[in-house]
Structure 1
Amino acid sequence: MNTCAWIVFLDESGVSLLPQIRRTYAPRGRTPLLRHRLNWKRASMAAALGYHATDPERGPRLCFHLKPGSYNTTALIEVLNELKAFYREEPVVLVWDGLSAHRSRAMRAWAAEQDWLTLERLPAHAPELNPVELLWSSLKNRELANLAGSHLADVAYATEQGIHRINANPRLPWSFLTHTGLTIRPPTSQN
């Protein structure tokens, strides 16, 4: 593993036009109502949250992708090509879960040709080790909470606003990492 690489956690999540119902406040006696069309249109989002392994002053960096439908191997390879450009072809150690598209033959063949990329898997059934899970929680509990959009564009707009909010506060991505119990510290010199 390259010691001057970005350590990047990647995860996917889905959103739909069905509202993420959350507790809210309202004047006494006026229970809020969410009115929406029962619509199953879905979009998928992928986020890559990176921390520099040897220079914490360079990070964190958040790369985000949103698309209608769901991710498959081909779509994830497109996301990884965007990630390559986002990190300017610097070495990346990508940490992700065991989704079948992450383990597919086509993904393994593509990754084997990438000299900038090292793939690592999270342990099975351990989403609490992925800081991107906390990013999803932040979006779904704030920007997407009780959102009764008419079109996927409404959900996309709210999601992008949440990504801007998270990017505007560099302490927030660090808090996601801290909450996992994982740490990234520069190596100490051995003099």
Structure 2
Amino acid sequence: MNTHAWIVFLDESGVSLLPQIRRTYSPRGRTPLLRHRLNWKRASMAGALGYHSTDPDRGARLCFHLKPGSYDTAALIEVLEQMKVFYRGERVVLVWDGLSAHWSRAMRAWVAEQDWLTLERLPAYAPELNPVELLWSSLKKRELANLAGDHLADVADATERGIHRINANPRLPWSFLAHTGLTIRPPHPPNLRKDQ
């Protein structure tokens, strides 16, 4: 593994116009009501949280993508092409789960042509090791909570506000990583005596 690379965790999540029901405060005896037309339109989000392997002062980087429908290999390759621009061609070690679109023949062929990208697979059934899961949780508990929008644009606007909130707090993406129990520590050369 290249030690001068960004370690980037990527994950996808679905959202729909059905409200994410969360508890809320209201005066006693006045139960709040959510009124919604039960529109089943769905969108998918892809989030990539990056941490530099040798220079934590470069901060964490959040790359985000939202599209109607769901992701397949071709759509994920588009996301990765945008990520290449986002990281300006710097080396990236991408860590993601075993979704079939992540490891399809077409994806592996495309990755083989990329000199900036290395893929690593998360262990099976271990979403708790992906800090992007905490990103989704944060968005769904705040900006998307109880949102009864009429159009996918309402969901997109709320999600964008959440991404701006997370980007405005440089400690939040690091807290997502800390919650997984994983750490990224820059390597330190061992103290060598001159007579060795």
TM normalised by structure 2 equals 0.97
The match for 1:26 is 26
Q: Which residue of the partner structure matches residue 147 of structure 1?
A: 147
- What is the CA–CA distance in structure 1 between the aligned matches of 2:23 and 2:121, rounded to whole Å? 35
Once the two structures are TM-superposed, the CA of residue 59 in structure 1 deviates from its matched residue by 1.9
Map 1:46-57; keep pairs closer than 5 Å. 46-57=46-57
After the TM superposition, list the runs of 4 or more consecutive aligned residues in structure 1 that deviate by more than 4 angstroms: none
Alignment of 1:2-21 (within 5 A): 2-21=2-21
For residues 155 and 36 of structure 2, the distance between their equivalents in structure 1, rounded to whole angstroms, comes to: 13
Q: Deviations over 1:85-122 (max 9, x none)?
A: 00000000000001110011000000000000000000
1:39 deviation in Å?
Answer: 1.0
- Point out the structure with max Rg over C-alpha: 2
* TM-fit CA distance, 1:170: 0.5
**Equivalent-residue separation in structure 1 for 2:187 and 2:49 (angstroms):** 21
1:45-70 per-residue CA deviation (whole Å, 9 max, x = no partner) reads 00000000000001200000000000
Q: CA-to-partner distance for each residue in 1:99-155, whole Å, 9 max, x for gaps?
A: 110011000000000000000000000000000000000000000000000000000
Write the distance in 1 (CA, Å) between the matches of 2:58 and 2:32.
44
CA distance in structure 2 between the aligned counterparts of 1:39 and 1:104, rounded to whole angstroms: 32
User: Structure 1 unaligned runs (5+)?
Assistant: none
| Structure 2, gaps ≥5 residues long | 192-196
Equivalent pairs, count: 191
SS in 1 for 2:71: coil
Paired residue for 2:123? 123
Following TM superposition, by how much is the alpha carbon of 1:190 offset from its aligned partner in structure 2, in angstroms? 1.9
1:37 corresponds to 2:37? yes
Find the aligned partners of 1:123 and 1:2 in 2 and give their Cα distance. 21
Residues 88-127 of structure 1 correspond to what in structure 2 (within 5 A)? 88-127=88-127
SS in 1 for 2:163: helix
Partner of 1:156: 156
Query: 1:135: which partner in 2?
Result: 135
CA distance in 1 between partners of 2:118 and 2:59 (Å): 19
Q: Percent identity?
A: 87
Return the letter of the residue paired with 1:190.
P
Q: Which amino acid aligns with 1:144?
A: L
Say yes or no: does 1:86 pair with 2:75.
no
Task: Calculate the aligned-residue CA RMSD, in Å.
Answer: 0.5
Amino acid at match of 2:165: R
